[in-house]
Structure formats: C-alpha cells, structure tokens
A = this chain, B = another copy of it.
C-alpha cells in the first residue's frame, strides 16, 4: 500500500488526511484548532481590519494532526504502516505572508517580537493594508497595467504586497527586522524540508501568481523599479523573492530526519510545493480541462484550467490567470463570488426572521424548497459583500425587488439562493464567452454537500448537472494528490486524480420546466446586474417589477 498525507491549513484549524493512493480511500484524519487568539486568529479590538496568526500554531498543528491521523489509520486499517507514506502535500489559506529573518525563522517566533501582531502571519482576511492596496492599484494602472490584467483589474488589500507595504508604513521596526516575507504555503513545506533559509526557499506558483503579480511574461515578480516606486525598501525587498516559482508537481524538498522523527514518518520522503486551499481543493475535486470546480462556502471559488498555450485570451473580470497554479501544464483560472453562504448567514443571523428557531437555515430551506421557481415574485442581487467576478467591484451592495405586503421569509431566502445561482451562471457564461468551455460542474464544500435545494436550484438555473465531490475533505485530498505525485505513486496529476478523486452518486439534474422559468428570471437578473454594476450601462428598469409579477402569476396559475 502506498499512502499520501495531505495537510490542509484553514482559517481556524489544520487538518491532516492520510489517503490510499491507489483508490483515494481516506484511512485517517485529524483536526487541530489553532490555540492562539480567537478561534486561531489574533484580533485587535481597535481595528476590525486586523487578523493575524501565530506560526507556532502551524508547527504544533502539523505534529498533532499527523500523529492523530496515523493513530486513526492504524486503528482503522490493521495493515497500515506509516512507512507506506510516500509524500506530503500542503495547502494553506492565502495570501498569508510572514516576515522572516535571514535564516527563514518567523519574527513571531523570536523573543523580541513574540507579542507584536505585525511580526506574525498576516492572515488572508487581514484588511489593514487597504490604503496600500489602492496605492498599488493606482501605480500599476499608470505604469504597469499588464500586472492588473491577470488579477482582475484591482490589487486587493488581502494580498502580499499590500500587507508588506502596510507593515513598512506602520511598523518599520518589524519591517526592517524582516529579511524577507514568505507565504504560509511556502514556509510550511520549507520548514518540513529544512529549506526555509531564503537562499534555498522555493516559492509556489499559486501564491506568487495569484497574489503577488508574478508572471513569466514580465520576468516573474514585479520589477524593483515598480516596487521601489511604492517605497524604496519594498524595491530592495524584490531581490529576496527570487527569480523562479514552482508548481505543485515539484517537491519543495525532502522531509528532514528531525521532522521525520517527530512525526513518525520515513525521513527523506518528498514534500510537495504548497498551494492555496481552493486550488488544491479543485485538484481534490478532480479538476481537469472542461471541469469547473465550485468550492461553495461563505464565499465561492470557481476554478477551471485551460491548456497553457497561446490560445487563451485574458478573461476579463476573473480573479486570476496563472500558469500552473492548479495543475502543472495548465493555466489555473480562478473566479468567485464574494459571498454565498455568508448571504444566507446574514439573513439567518442578522435578520433572524421569525426568531431563532423559525429562521434557521434548515427551517427556511425546508419551506423554500416547496416554492416553485418564480412563485415569490422576488429577485435579488448577490452583492451583499460586493462582486468579485465578473464585475470585480467590492463597492456594490445587495438589492431585493418584488416585495409585497405578503412576502414571507422563506421567499426571500429562496430569492437569495437563486441570486447566488444567477451569479454562478454569470461566471460560467464569462468563461465560455472567452473560449474556456465547461462540460461538467463539480461542487464541493459544506453547502454543496448539505443543501439539496440549493444544488437543485443551481442545476435549474444553469441548465447543467451539478455533481458533488466524493470526498468531504477536497483540499486535504488535493494536497494528498500532490504528495502522491511527488512521492512517485502516480506518474502525473491526471493519473493520481483518476485513482484518488471521484464524485458522489447523487447528482442534481436540471428540470426543464424550472430552467425555462429561470431563463426568464436570469434576463431580469442581468438587467439589474448590468444596470447597477456597470457604470457606463444605462438600462430600462421600467418593466422589471411587472415582468416579475407576470412570472409570479404564471407560477401560481
């Protein structure tokens, strides 16, 4: 038996999954909740933008979860032996950079900076660098528009350089003490393989390409003149980032004897280059050409791949196009919706229609499932947290139209679910309009697994079958796939995915009559979407309410 380990570093915890590389069977798993801060996040009551993590939690988490998963695998599978493990794969959140010293040691782990949040890992959802993000966007727009073309037109406060520049501006002591900054996804594999020193460190294609404007078309990371234009010391940092990046089929190095001893694993097994959770989640869901993987949670990531030849045009409005960020040899294309589950959570937790019990997700879902498409007369935009794809505009907000004096909570709940489905369809259409054909949709994440009503609505709205990834741990499974490849259990990703990944038997097929109604509603959605979302677009709204009433009356007839 050949097994692979996937380590999945999430926002609040890390999970280890041990997988049989021959068939994807999940032999053991273990979760470790980060102990530092609140649910693993260091917060600042005075600044709601701040979100940091303690890298010590990452190390402790690797030890605890690998040991726990091994113990579980041993119990479940008498024949299991940790020596069967051929490799380790790692996915993390991102962009989550850490300042490190010239040996690659995080400043947070050094005595002098232990209690300074700026010396810790800057978690993906830290937005302290919003002013710097705007500054970077402005400069790039003027001087390097090509940088923005690959990342949706706006550089985000969640990304690498916004965070580093903000540290430079607000905590020069930490900035000056840092030799360089390293993504969590790069740092963890480097530590396990003893390659964390900046002159040995390998940076992954995924983080560099999606969050740090790194692209071979312009020689890797942004040039030092550009970065220096933001701040001379940021310009000087450029040379510490190196000239090359590596996809997930490459090893970051080999497990050191010290770590092998600690973890109870064979020394010298390869550790794959890291990548972000959504990207390896797409791998674990079986992504390949023609397959859209939707990772549906509080927000969505919509991932596709396309051959990395010259035939792919820039797809406007998607979050990123990066060679090798998902599968080696393919462009990884990332799109997404800024809020999906978060919109339903808002309705349930903030509005609490009918009180906590009557307004629960399950009660509302049950009632909403009884409604017919179009029956509520409602139509919503899914922009309560802005629009990531295809408008790339955080300064958009929610909209609901069609309310009467009899509109009920479950009708609004369903309208919100439908709105996210319309948003999902808009992303699919955008890919296809630019030549990226989508033959299959595979969904993963808690909502996809639990909410059959939502999946049926997605099928009915898009007119496409909705499949569900077989594994409930697609990110960790994707990391294990990378581990299986670098560990030699499979010759390439396609073979590893064919063996290890799959979809559930239950799928959701579009119902023709529903799809017909939703085609009408989608036209109205696009009228609102374009009218409110595209500054130059002036569209007639005069008929929207009446057309909704007509659809409603037909549904009720």
Contact digits for A312-336, partner B, Cβ 8 Å, 1 yes 0 no: 0000000000000000000000000
CB pair A403 B384 closer than 8 Å: yes
On chain B, the residues within 8 Å of A355 by CB distance are 352, 354-356, 358
Question: Among the listed B407, B408, B535, B542, which residue makes an inter-chain contact with A542, where contact means beta carbons less than 8 Å apart?
Answer: B535
A71 within 8 A of B: no
CB pair B395 A402 closer than 8 Å: no
Q: Once bound together, how far apart are the Cα atoms of A105 and B188, in whole Å?
A: 93
Question: Among the listed B397, B403, B534, which residue makes an inter-chain contact with A398, where contact means beta carbons less than 8 Å apart?
Answer: B403
Contact digits for A382-413, partner B, Cβ 8 Å, 1 yes 0 no: 01110000000001111111111111110010
CB pair A397 B406 closer than 8 Å: no
Contact digits for A497-514, partner B, Cβ 8 Å, 1 yes 0 no: 000000000000000000
Q: Which of A297-317 contact B (CB under 8 A)?
A: none
Known contacts A405-B385, A545-B395, A549-B395: A351-B350 contact under CB 8 Å: no
Q: How far is the CB of A418 from chain B (nearest CB, A)?
A: 16
A342 within 8 A of B: yes
CB pair A408 B350 closer than 8 Å: yes
A343 within 8 A of B: yes
On chain B, the residues within 8 Å of A404 by CB distance are 346, 384-385, 397-398
A540 within 8 A of B: yes
Q: Which of A521-551 contact B (CB under 8 A)?
A: 531-546, 548-549
A35 within 8 A of B: no
A377 within 8 A of B: yes
Q: Once bound together, how far apart are the Cα atoms of A3 and B470, in whole Å?
A: 84
A353 within 8 A of B: yes
On chain B, the residues within 8 Å of A356 by CB distance are 355
- Write the chain B residue with the least CB distance to A537: B542
On chain B, the residues within 8 Å of A399 by CB distance are 399-403, 545
**Which of A352, A358, A403, A533 is most buried by chain B, counting CB atoms within 10 A of its CB?**
A403
Contacts beyond the supplied A399-B399, A537-B540: 7 A-B pairs with Cβ under 8 Å: A345-B405, A350-B408, A351-B412, A355-B355, A355-B358, A396-B546, A541-B541
Which residues of A pack against B, CB within 8 Å?
339, 342-343, 345-346, 350-356, 358, 377, 383-385, 395-409, 412, 531-546, 548-549
